[in-house]
């Protein structure tokens, strides 16, 4: 009879426990969780704060009781493991209710401790109006601050998934919101021109967005909290005085009522490192493809570990629920004698921001550049379904691929409708080792409410294949920024479009329908950088001009991409 | 200079024309279309009839003028090709306006004639209140009948894509609707238990659904049309008399005002067969993977041709817009010297019906049985996104796979939300040659508004992999129908569920949380057919019971699948 002990009862730990019991009816399975809750929906926390998820109970997916009755698992909440004795295969556990400690032995140990919010060592960071959001008690505290202190202005620090979701939640509740982000863009997994769509969405929704700006200090507001708030009459509106003032890294400061700290997480590795398990280069617990740590009897899963990146094979930290879930299931199999191998992580992710979604899979351009991996890229802006059917919205898709093989390196998409579907399709294609040529041939669902006879992904595949086959030479916005004397920009849009959406300085305008008759206006000794609104008419112009002996490149994604790249926030 | 003539200006023909010009600026390109319109959105016709697509113009994607100005293509509408002289490489063309005929030569000829609605040779089929719906004039006629004669009751004959879309459109307009379908199910591409979800949706939306019922004759109603309708006052409500009576194949008859004939299409092969081109076994034009017919200078694409089925490699007729579009593009390349090959067709398709979508890719169970291809199947019913986030709806997914390799043979899905996405994911996976094991490992987008940490497709992959690995033995509803004396049905749902949604006669009920303590109530000499509501708890019970020495199988898809299979309409 194998005795399995699992440290941590959320995502990976919970999956592992349930799977272990299905595999072995006889194993003894103990789950130790230092918090009050196991198997809760941490991805749902911002949406309960916003009120969109009404019931708090719906976030509690399993309870210690349901684990016991369905899976015969001994779940011990408020039980914190203090130390692991690998020699003795024994844990030193503290019951946080009684404060007593006890020893618990194991045959196989699973570490699923997760990651903890990063808390920078700045003045005032422990103020009771500064919140993180990682678990149910965190959420309860935010809700109680909202209820009791009726803040009017909130500041979110960090523009990642949780930061953006919290910005939306707080705006949903009617608060004024400032968002501080130390980098030059929110949502690190995508590139900056894609993030600019989010920046625009934030501004459009009244968010005070401050990029390249960090939090330097948190101070009590001169008007003391006790004077303004210390009353039993919670319904009485607050005085117009704010609770806090924040000092920023750009030397500005402003007043706010509430801070949400969402600058990222770091793997919880204290237990692992204290007992001498090997950590990886990024500071996560090192595991092999079987989720085994450097100790053959100890496995680890979830946000605390490093896995292999799908494209590069190098270690990466991917604190996401999907991988954690699959790793938990797999570790359970292997602790009970299985030989399952985890496949590398693409990091497929998505974030909702107001009416928009942004999503990515694989590597982004920043990391490709950083790692000096050769790539080509294209942009398309294509309707989410047949444009003549109501509810179609453009999807902006950026596709990164290998210039030799055409293999998919990464993809990013943003839009109001159908973004998740396109990144899912591309994530499967990437995992299957497909090339951009394969994308052109994909047979996807089509009826006017759902797609187009030539889907966004087909379109992207065709454009990328044209580039690789030499059927089209593309240029990018950066090329237009560094124009040489032997280059010339040609805008093939209709004059009305220039007036409506803007023009590029120095470009000459010959509308596509007139181009064939006005070839004599163009020089053959210059390289023509052609563009239209999204790249399609530019391609038609490209084909025409090349065959008439001109040197040409087409701006990938057209003027729309130009605007994305050149937006400033 | 190559002279390309294209017969037919919609979908495949239009794609080919545009692509040909992009490839060759010097080619002479002529498009002959016997109708008034080229490149119109035929998939949008039902939605303009319903009023959901307001603008008729939005259905006209290109015009002869736009083809001329953008692509320098000589588009001749109302020009019908009467005969092809392959020896002389010449066409005999009639101008339908002037009624004059002329000869037109070609170097390369593309046939894109489409398919025509099947019109059964029954009495009254040409009545002016009997409509087909294939093109803009057809649509205009339906709209004019609706406007001028204010029908109160319409009858749709045929429950395929157009039939179902027209049922919805007419209900949307407030008409009473009867739907006649000769087969025992609507929507042939899916299996009957999946179609039963559509049958239920039709009934729930007040449609008079008559399966196994065909149209036998169309008769004028005894009250003459002239008496009731012949008035200039179009706004005056009609008398309550109907326009038509229909005789049905089941010897019933009823009165109606309007018939939409949508029993399917047949490839337009007159021109091809008259000039001696080889037709395929299913009556479509035979082409090779390069879209070349038996004449090296004649290519054919779209609804008129036979392509290879992705799973079997055998010829198939797939009258869908996506494949037509890609074939047109590819044929253009090849007519201009390219060597592109079309890949086999999966037949990925989707149909919206009221608030529901049904979709499929690959082969269905009916065809697998008919062609004696070995398969296994599983069902899952999983929320379209995190169930705690608003707007989640169950997706019913049926997965058909190879019992040896685990390769995906086909998939069908139905539900209110996210159906298109899951079939797209599965269509890509199938095309990539992935197995059900790969599905379990797919890394798909997850945030509560979009998916689940374990997506529907992951779930289906895990269940299928369990079956193939022997981690679970499944049974199907048919097994429960043919129970032997050594079998016993065990329902592990909670008693409340049985009351709420129904029970299976003869099953004993032991709720899962009590099962481990009540094992002694179960016989070891019988095979236990275990089930729960959707199959998940059944799997937990299966694992438990097998390890305690019982012979067990779990009902795939649980009671919900049982209800789908046993529904009668």
Answer yes or no: do A181 and A107 share one domain: no
Flag whether A48 is in a domain: no
User: What residues in A contact B23, CB-CB < 8 Å?
Assistant: 543
Tell me if B390 and A428 make a contact (CB, 8 A cut-off): no
Cross-chain CB nearest to A321 (options B388, B446, B449): B446
Residue to mutate among B24, B139, B355, B428, with most A CBs inside 10 A, is B428
Take residue A493 and report the two structure tokens written for it.
């849009």
Answer yes or no: do A380 and A450 share one domain: yes
Residues 439-468 of A with CB under 8 A from B: 440-451, 453-455, 458, 462
What is the DSSP code string of B388-450? TSTT--EEEEEEEE-TTT-BEEEEEEEESSSHHHHHHHHHHHHHTT-BHHHHHH------TTT
Find, among A435, A431, A439, the residue nearest to A401 by Cα: A435
Find, among B387, B386, B398, B326, the residue nearest to B359 by Cα: B398
Tell me if A351 and B447 make a contact (CB, 8 A cut-off): yes
Cross-chain CB nearest to A70 (options B52, B389, B513): B513
Angstrom distance (rounded) from CA A479 to CA A487: 10
Q: Does the CA dihedral B363-B365-B367-B373 come out positive or negative?
A: positive
Question: In which element (H, E) is residue A419 found?
Answer: helix A419-431
Take residue A82 and report the two structure tokens written for it.
């203090």
Give residue-wise pLDDT tens across range B52-92. Answer: 999 999 999 999 999 999 999 999 999 999 999 999 999 99
Give me the domain span that covers residue A397. 355-469
* Ramachandran category for residue B174: left, alpha or beta (phi over 0 → left; psi -120 to 50 → alpha): left
Find, among B381, B401, B312, B457, the residue nearest to A425 by Cα: B457
Find, among A351, A257, A47, the residue nearest to A173 by Cα: A47
Angstrom distance (rounded) from CA B71 to CA B112: 19
Tell me if A22 and B450 make a contact (CB, 8 A cut-off): no
CB B434 within 8 A of CB A433: no
CB B475 within 8 A of CB B529: yes
* Smallest CA–CA distance from B347 into chain A, residue: A443
Q: Any idea what the CATH number is for the domain that residue A517 is in?
A: 3.40.250.10
Q: What is the ipTM of this complex?
A: 0.95
Flag whether B350 is in a domain: no
Take residue B319 and report the two structure tokens written for it.
């009258």
pLDDT tens for chain B, 569 residues long, are 899 999 999 999 999 999 999 999 999 999 999 999 999 999 999 999 999 999 999 999 999 999 999 999 999 999 999 999 999 999 999 999 999 999 999 999 999 999 999 999 999 999 999 999 999 999 999 999 999 999 999 999 999 999 999 999 999 999 999 999 999 999 999 999 999 999 999 999 999 999 999 999 999 876 554 444 554 544 444 444 678 999 999 999 999 999 999 999 999 999 999 999 999 999 999 999 999 999 999 999 999 999 999 999 999 999 999 999 999 999 999 999 999 999 999 999 999 999 999 999 999 999 999 999 999 999 999 999 999 999 999 999 999 999 999 999 999 999 999 999 999 999 999 999 999 999 999 999 999 999 999 999 999 999 999 999 999 999 999 999 999 999 999 999 999 999 999 999 999 999 999 999 999 999 999 999 999 999 999 999 999 999 999 999 999 999 999 999 999 99
Flag whether A120 is in a domain: no
Q: What are phi and psi of A479, to 5 degrees?
A: -65, -35
Tell me if B69 and A513 make a contact (CB, 8 A cut-off): yes
Q: Does the CA dihedral A446-A451-A454-A459 come out positive or negative?
A: negative
B475 in active site: no
Residues 44-63 of A with CB under 8 A from B: 44, 47, 52-53, 55, 58-59, 61
Angstrom distance (rounded) from CA B475 to CA B491: 14
Angstrom distance (rounded) from CA B199 to CA B187: 10
Take residue B467 and report the two structure tokens written for it.
């079956």
Find, among B529, B524, B498, B528, the residue nearest to B511 by Cα: B498
* Ramachandran category for residue B322: left, alpha or beta (phi over 0 → left; psi -120 to 50 → alpha): alpha
Residues 506-525 of B with CB under 8 A from A: 512-513, 516
Distance from CA of A546 to the nearest CA of B (A): 9
Q: How many CA atoms within 13 Å lie on the side-chain side of A269? A: 22
CB B245 within 8 A of CB B127: no
Answer yes or no: do B277 and B249 share one domain: no
Residues 365-384 of B with CB under 8 A from A: none
Of chain B, the percentage scoring pLDDT greater than 90 comes to 95
Flag whether A141 is in a domain: yes
Buried b (16+ CB within 10 A) or exposed e, B133-163: bbbbebbeebeebbeebebbbbbbbbbbbbb
Answer yes or no: do A171 and A186 share one domain: yes
Flag whether B341 is in a domain: no
Each as own residue / partner, the long-range contacts of residues A121-128 (CB below 8 Å, 24 or more positions apart, any chain) are A122/A215, A122/A216, A122/A217, A122/A218, A123/A217, A123/A218, A123/A219, A124/A217, A124/A218, A124/A219, A124/A220, A124/A244, A125/A218, A125/A261, A127/A218, A127/A220, A127/A244, A127/A259
CB B380 within 8 A of CB B463: yes
CB B501 within 8 A of CB B559: yes
Total domains in the fold of chain B: 4
The helix/strand/coil state of B352 is strand
Task: Choose the final residue of a domain: A447, A469, A491.
Answer: A469
Rg value, chain B, Cα: 27
- DSSP count for chain B of H helices, then E strands: 18, 31
Residue to mutate among A363, A444, A513, A516, with most B CBs inside 10 A, is A444
Q: Which residue bears the tokens 């009755």?
A: A69
Per residue, the 3-state secondary structure of A45-74, as one string, reads HHHHHCCCCCCCHHHECCCHHHHHHHHCCE
Q: For helices A536-547 and B64-71, give the axis angle rounded to 10 degrees.
A: 50
* Smallest CA–CA distance from A45 into chain B, residue: B448
Task: Choose the final residue of a domain: B468, B483, B503.
Answer: B468
Instruction: Sort strands A176-181 and B244-248 into parallel, antiparallel or unpaired.
Output: unpaired
Question: In which element (H, E) is residue A537 found?
Answer: helix A536-547
So what's the pLDDT on residue A228?
46
User: What residues in B contact A420, CB-CB < 8 Å?
Assistant: 421, 445, 450-451
Cross-chain CB nearest to B70 (options A71, A322, A512): A512
* CA A261 distance to own-chain centroid: 17
Answer yes or no: do A102 and A196 share one domain: no
C-beta neighbour count of A88 within 10 angstroms? 10
The CA–CA distances, whole Å, from A262 to A41, A46, A162, B218 equal 18, 12, 6, 70
Answer yes or no: do A33 and A62 share one domain: yes
Per residue, the 3-state secondary structure of B132-167, as one string, reads CCCCHHHHHHHHHHHHHHCCCEEEEECCCHHHHHHH
Q: How many CA atoms within 13 Å lie on the side-chain side of B130? A: 22
Tell me if A52 and B361 make a contact (CB, 8 A cut-off): no
Distance from CA of A306 to the nearest CA of B (A): 16
Q: Any idea what the CATH number is for the domain that residue A12 is in?
A: 3.50.50.60
Residue A341 forms contact with B (CB below 8 Å): no
Selected catalytic residue, list B221, B275, B532, B543: B532
Answer yes or no: do B174 and B285 share one domain: no
Answer yes or no: do B45 and B60 share one domain: yes
Flag whether B520 is in a domain: yes
Answer yes or no: do B134 and B257 share one domain: yes
Flag whether B106 is in a domain: yes
Answer yes or no: do B252 and B369 share one domain: no
Task: Choose the final residue of a domain: A469, A503, A531.
Answer: A469
Rg value, chain A, Cα: 27
Answer yes or no: do A308 and A388 share one domain: no
pLDDT tens for chain A, 569 residues long, are 899 999 999 999 999 999 999 999 999 999 999 999 999 999 999 999 999 999 999 999 999 999 999 999 999 999 999 999 999 999 999 999 999 999 999 999 999 999 999 999 999 999 999 999 999 999 999 999 999 999 999 999 999 999 999 999 999 999 999 999 999 999 999 999 999 999 999 999 999 999 999 999 999 876 554 444 554 544 444 444 678 999 999 999 999 999 999 999 999 999 999 999 999 999 999 999 999 999 999 999 999 999 999 999 999 999 999 999 999 999 999 999 999 999 999 999 999 999 999 999 999 999 999 999 999 999 999 999 999 999 999 999 999 999 999 999 999 999 999 999 999 999 999 999 999 999 999 999 999 999 999 999 999 999 999 999 999 999 999 999 999 999 999 999 999 999 999 999 999 999 999 999 999 999 999 999 999 999 999 999 999 999 999 999 999 999 999 999 999 99
Flag whether B303 is in a domain: yes
Residue A346 forms contact with B (CB below 8 Å): yes
Take residue A216 and report the two structure tokens written for it.
């330097």
Answer yes or no: do B253 and B135 share one domain: yes
């Amino acid at each position: 009879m194998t005795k399995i002990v699992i440290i941590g009862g959320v995502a990976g730990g919970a999956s592992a426990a349930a799977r272990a019991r299905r595999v072995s009816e006889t194993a003894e399975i103990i789950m130790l969780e230092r918090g009050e809750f196991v198997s809760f929906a941490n991805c749902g926390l911002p949406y309960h704060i916003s009120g969109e998820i009404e019931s708090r109970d719906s976030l509690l997916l399993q309870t210690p009781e349901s684990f016991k009755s369905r899976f015969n698992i001994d779940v011990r909440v408020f039980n914190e493991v203090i130390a692991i004795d690998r020699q003795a295969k024994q844990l030193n556990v503290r019951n946080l209710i009684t404060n007593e400690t006890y020893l618990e032995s194991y045959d196989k140990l699973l570490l699923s401790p997760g990651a903890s919010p990063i808390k920078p060592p700045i003045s005032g960071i422990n103020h009771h109006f500064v919140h993180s959001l990682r678990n149910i008690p965190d959420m309860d505290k935010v809700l109680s601050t909202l209820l009791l202190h009726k803040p009017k202005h909130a500041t979110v620090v960090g523009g990642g998934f949780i930061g953006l979701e919290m910005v939306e939640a707080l705006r949903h509740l009617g608060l004024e919101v400032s968002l501080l982000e130390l980098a030059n863009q929110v949502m690190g997994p995508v590139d900056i021109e894609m993030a600019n769509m989010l920046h625009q969405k934030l501004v459009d929704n009244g968010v005070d967005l401050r990029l390249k700006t960090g939090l330097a200090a948190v101070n009590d507001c001169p008007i003391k909290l006790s004077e303004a708030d210390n009353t039993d009459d919670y319904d009485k509106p607050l005085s117009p005085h704010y609770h806090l003032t924040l000092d920023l890294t750009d030397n500005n400061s402003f007043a706010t009522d509430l801070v949400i700290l969402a600058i990222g997480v770091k793997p919880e590795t204290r237990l692992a490192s204290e007992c001498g398990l090997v950590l990886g280069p990024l500071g996560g617990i090192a595991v092999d493809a079987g989720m085994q740590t450097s100790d053959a009897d100890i496995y680890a899963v979830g946000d605390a570990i490093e896995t292999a990146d799908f494209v590069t094979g190098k270690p990466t930290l991917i604190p996401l629920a999907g991988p954690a879930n699959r790793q938990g299931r797999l570790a359970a199999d292997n602790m009970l004698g299985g030989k399952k191998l985890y496949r590398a992580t693409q990091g497929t992710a998505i974030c909702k921001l107001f009416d928009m979604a942004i999503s990515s899979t694989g590597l982004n351009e920043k990391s490709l550049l950083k790692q000096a991996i050769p790539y080509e890229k294209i942009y398309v802006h294509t309707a989410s379904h047949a444009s003549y059917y109501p509810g179609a919205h453009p999807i902006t898709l950026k596709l990164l691929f290998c210039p030799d093989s055409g293999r998919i390196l990464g993809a990013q998409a943003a839009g109001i409708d159908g973004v998740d579907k396109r990144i899912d399709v591309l994530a499967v294609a990437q995992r299957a080792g497909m090339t951009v040529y394969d994308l052109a041939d994909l047979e996807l669902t089509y009826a006017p409410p759902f797609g187009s006879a030539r889907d966004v992904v087909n379109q992207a595949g065709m454009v990328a294949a044209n580039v690789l086959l030499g059927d089209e030479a593309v240029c990018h916005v950066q090329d237009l920024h560094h124009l040489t004397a032997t280059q010339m920009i040609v805008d093939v849009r209709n004059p009305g479009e220039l007036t409506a959406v803007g023009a590029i300085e120095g470009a000459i305008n010959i509308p596509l329908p007139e181009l064939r008759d006005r070839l004599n206006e163009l020089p053959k000794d210059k390289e023509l950088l052609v563009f239209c609104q999204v790249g399609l008419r530019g391609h038609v112009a490209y084909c025409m001009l090349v065959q008439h002996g001109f040197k040409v490149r087409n701006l990938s994604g057209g003027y729309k991409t130009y605007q994305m790249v050149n937006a400033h926030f």
